[in-house]
Structure 1
Amino acid sequence: MRTRPERLYEIDGLRLLAALCVVLYHYVFSGWAGGKTSVTFVTESGWAKYGYLGVDLFFLISGFVVLMSAWGRSPRQFVVSRIVRLYPAYWVGIAITAVVTVALGQGLFQVSLTQVLANLTMFQSVPNIANVDVVYWTLWTEMRFYLIMLVFTWIGMTKGRIMVALWGWLALTFLVELGVLPGLADLVVQSEFSHYFIAGMALFMLYRFGLNWQIALLVPIALGNAVYRAIGYAEAVGERYSVTYSPVVITAVVVLIFLIMTFVALRVTHSLARPWLVTAGALTYPLYLLHAHIGFILFARLEGSINKYVLLVAMIVVMLGAAYLVYRFVERPLAPRLKRLLSKRQPPAHAAAPVGNPTG
């Protein structure tokens, strides 16, 4: 009988840390650098411009926890778990962002009813319809990863099958990067970020089964490709905002991200885990969904009337508060109801319970 794994509270804390890095990137750097507000943080932007790397940490964590969540689940159970986890807060985030944009965002952003309806599916990228909020691009990346995981649940997960799949995915990543495979293949391979998902899954295998030569070889290879792609991505971001990124800093951050998650997989960080981090982790997703366009709009409307540092702190506090309200009054009450609605009749009590998602 399969038992539920212990909750990794430290991952909850890492998720909120990653989200706050992205928030600071938008508020302290990209908002004014991208012309969305005239509230400038020239000095602080020297470090805040690296905050987008919080997304890289998100993807590495996702590889770890989604495999943990999917292990032993049926395809239906996995799909239901993802719908319940993603859609309630997302729908609310779209609604709030759209209302604020229409009411206060003239001249900054535009949103249409067709755009909103398409975004509600989370598949708006398929017909190439614009996101209601810029940060939603990562959800399309996650959704394609979930489709791969769905195939794994259908085939059946074993240690050997997962390791073969990870090596195969890494090989396809290199074939796309070398131009051997057409660009269309990258819709599935996702070579820009696949190394994070691959490494995260490998680290879960380390956490569950212990170290072996395949994991010891695969994770460093994924790290090397992550550094290579991250430096290239930073150059593109730098061109967009007319700033320079240090390859040394980019490399150090990516290595640190891998190192931290390796410590999690080796249970080195277990002593840092605290139950209250569950709530911190629960704020992550709604905070990520709400902060960007709404924040830019409020900065633009309030600039000049409030000290910029007071405004920055107040904005982060307000967004954290809004995230808590979405978690408390949307996700918590709706998740179990939606799960019951989508699930078949529960199996007999003696059947094994599916592994829970450690990130809530």
Structure 2
Amino acid sequence: MRTSSDRLYDIDGLRLLAALCVVLFHYTFSGPAGGHSPVVFAEESAWSKYGYLGVDLFFLISGFVVLMSAWGRSSRSFLVSRVVRLYPAYWVGIAVTTVVTLTLGQSLFQVSLPQVLANLTMFQSVPDIANVDVVYWTLWVEMRFYFVILLFTWIGMTQGRLMAGMWGWLGLTFAVEAGVLPGFADLIVQSEFSHYFIAGMALFMVYRFGLTTQLAVLVPVCLGNAVFRAIGYADAVGERYGVSYSPAVITAVVAGIFLIMTLVALRATRRLARPWLVTAGALTYPLYLLHAHIGFVVFDRLGVAVNKYVLLVALILVMLGAAYLVHRFVERPLAPRIKRLLSARPAVPAPVVLVAARPTV
């Protein structure tokens, strides 16, 4: 069993860094470029356009911490932990975003009741219903990764099974990319991002059990595929927004993401970790859920009247404050209650037990 001393404060800090990169990407680049914000940050967008790679860091971190969370747990316990972790803040995010959209942002976004109800499940992508907020697409990616981890908790986690599973998943990734497997197989394989989850899992194995030859090979192979897919993904993003991305910069950022997480796995960053970073980590998820569409609405309403840099800084601080309120007054009080509710097992009536234990004649 892990104790509080096992908490990786350095990963908490990296989570907030990744979230802020995504926030700056939306506020200073994709908002204006996508027609959702009248406030243009011409100079800043030259570098903030790379901020979406914060999502890549999120996925690598997720591979690490979700496997760490699932290790030694039953399938039921793992499912409960994911529900407790994801849904309370998510429901608040949907509610607040919907209210802001309907009252202030109908010129930018449209929200319907069926759409909101579908989004509450977090499975709106299955029937191809639009997200209430653009950032929710990553949650569907995460949910499918949780399904993979759930399978491991069901069959039982061992080092050997995990290594075989990671190599198998990477093999399926290459098979999808080569066109050997049909396109629908990618629903589970997720070849666009699987290398991050696999590498994160492998780095957790390094953290827990030490570096082995297989892990020393697996992580660089994942890095190679991550760079390959990231350059292709950047071309698609560039085409969408009418900009170009430097393959060298994409390669450097992805390699840097892998390097920092490798250092975490090797415990080389522990001296930089501070307990206060746990608060930074706690703000990350609600900040991510709240910032995008609400921020675009604020820029649309106030962008002409307020200095753009003052508005940018103030909006980020307000979003951080809102994220803290969600964590403090929603996640913290509701998490233990939901956990108790979902973990409770119905008692089996005594007569049923007696009948089952005593065959009739």
* Length-normalised TM-score, structure 1: 0.95
Shift of 1:303: 1.3
Separation in structure 1 between the aligned mates of residue 248 and residue 303 of structure 2, nearest angstrom: 34
Please give the alpha-carbon distance, in whole angstroms, between the structure 1 residues aligned to 2:23 and 2:244.
20
How much has 1:344 moved relative to structure 2?
2.8
Residue in 2 that maps onto 1:307 = 307
* 1:326 Cα offset (Å): 0.3
**Counterpart in the other structure of 1:181:** 181
Give 2:278's aligned residue: 278
1:304 deviation in Å?
1.0
The AA in structure 1 aligned to 2:38 is S
CA distance in 2, matches of 1:76, 1:273: 32
1:114-153 to structure 2, matched below 5 A, reads 114-153=114-153
Residue 38 of structure 1 deviates from its aligned partner by 1.3
- Find the aligned partners of 2:8 and 2:187 in 1 and give their Cα distance: 31
Q: In the superposition, relative to structure 1, how do residues 3 and 239 fare at CA in structure 2: closer, same or farther (>3 Å)? A: closer
Aligned partner of 2:235 in structure 1 is 235
Amino acid at match of 2:188: V
Please tell me the residue identity of whatever aligns with 1:207.
Answer: Y
Aligned residue pairs: how many?
Answer: 345
Report the Cα distance in structure 1 between the residues aligned to 2:277 and 2:224, rounded to whole angstroms. 31
TM-superposed CA distance for 1:167, in Å, is 0.2
Instruction: Give the aligned partner of residue 289 of structure 1.
Output: 289
**Structure 1 position 345, deviation (Å):** 5.7
Q: Which residue is equivalent to 1:343? A: 343
Which runs of structure 2 are paired with 1:310-321 in the superposition (5 Å)? 310-321=310-321
- Whether 1:154 aligns to 2:161 is no
State the one-letter code of the partner of 1:15.
R
Matched, 1:195 2:199: no
User: How far off its partner does 1:134 sit?
Assistant: 0.2
Matched, 1:217 2:217: yes
What residue in structure 2 maps to residue 64 of structure 1? 64
Q: Structure 1 residue 106: deviation in Å? A: 1.5
> 2: CA distance between counterparts of 1:266 and 1:194?
22
Q: Distance in 1 between matches of 2:104 and 2:144?
A: 33
- 1:324 is aligned to 2:324: yes
Structure 2 distance, partners of 1:244, 1:14, is 27
Q: Distance in 1 between matches of 2:304 and 2:74?
A: 55
* SS at structure 2 position matched to 1:249: helix
1:51-102 deviation digits (Å, cap 9, x = unpaired)? 0000000000000000000000000000000000000000000000000000
Give the equivalent residue in structure 2 for 1:48.
Answer: 48
Secondary structure at 1:268 match in 2: coil
Query: CA-to-partner distance for each residue in 1:115-163, whole Å, 9 max, x for gaps?
Result: 0000000000001000000000000000000011111000000000000
RMSD: 1.0
Amino acid corresponding to residue 23 of structure 2 in structure 1: V
In the alignment, residue 63 of structure 1 is paired with which amino acid? Answer: G
Question: Secondary structure of the residue that 2:269 maps to in structure 1?
Answer: helix
Displacement of 1:37 in angstroms is 1.3
Name 1:261's counterpart in structure 2.
Answer: 261
| Distance (whole Å) between structure 2 residues aligned to residue 141 and residue 325 of structure 1 | 26
Partner Cα distance (2:344, 2:261) in 1: 35
Moved over 2 A (4+): 2-5
* Inter-partner Cα distance in structure 2 for 1:306 and 1:298: 11
Which amino acid in structure 2 is aligned with residue 343 of structure 1?
A: S
Task: Establish whether residue 247 from structure 1 lines up as the match of residue 247 from structure 2.
Answer: yes
CA distance in structure 2 between the aligned counterparts of 1:309 and 1:260, rounded to whole angstroms: 30
* Counterpart-to-counterpart distance in 2, 1:3 and 1:10: 17
The 1:3/1:314 distance shift into structure 2, 3 A limit, reads closer
Task: Give TM-score scaled by structure 2 length.
Answer: 0.95
Which residue does the alignment assign to 1:104? Answer: 104
Q: Provide the C-alpha distance between the structure 2 equivalents of 1:156 and 1:252, rounded to a whole number of angstroms.
A: 37
Name the structure 2 match of 1:35. 35
Counterpart Cα distance in 2 of 1:208 and 1:322? 35
Output one character per residue of 1:159-203: Cα deviation in whole Å (capped at 9) or x when no partner: 000000000000000000000000100000000000000000000
How far apart, in 2, do the equivalents of 1:281 and 1:50 lie? 22
